[in-house]
Amino acid sequence: MNHGSSRVHGTREQLTSLSATSLSCKAPSARSIGTSQAKPETVQKVSDIVREQLALSADTALTAESKFSALGADSLDPVEIVMALEEKFDISVEESDAQNITTIQETADLIEDLVQKKPAAQAS
């Protein structure tokens, strides 16, 4: 899954830089995974919160595929991270979803999915 998604992710980055609308980011091929690939900005926002939460130094490499466990997180850090993300994006994460995320990409995908499902016309 990782190889395929990084290739698609790369293509999408080019698309994002060319166009302003978010609709162009969603290629049909990504839907088969369940939630579509998140925009790079979302991944960046998630990474920032993770970096802050885990108190990582500025030169610690943080990619979308980084696993929380590899970054030195214990089992409670994702709980805190998800709480911080809920507040930042004004969403509510289900218990089952929250317990299944292990990488930054998965977190960003879930966040975007929930943001889109929000009924209110708030800009995220």
Partner 1 sequence: MVDKSQVLSLCRSLLRAGRKYPDYNIREYTKRRTLDGFRMNKNLTDPSKVEEAYAEGKSQLEVVERVVKVYLAYPPKTKNIMELKLQ
Query: Is 113 in the active site?
Result: no
- Residue 62 has a CB neighbour count (10 Å cut-off) of 18
Residues that bind partner 1 (CB under 8 A): 74-76, 79-80, 82-83, 87, 95, 98-99
Residues 48, 74, 109, 113: which is the catalytic one? 74
Nearer to partner 1, 39 or 78 (CB): 78
Q: How far is the CB of 76 from partner 1 (least distance, A)?
A: 6
Q: How far is the CB of 118 from partner 1 (least distance, A)?
A: 18
Helix (H, G, I), strand (E, B) or coil at 55: coil
Nearer to partner 1, 41 or 74 (CB): 74
Q: How far is the CB of 6 from partner 1 (least distance, A)?
A: 29
Contacts of 98 (CB under 8 A, 6+ apart): 78, 79, 82
- Residue 109 has a CB neighbour count (10 Å cut-off) of 24
Nearer to partner 1, 27 or 83 (CB): 83
Contacts of 12 (CB under 8 A, 6+ apart): 25, 27, 37, 39, 40
Q: Would you name the residues annotated as active-site residues?
A: 74
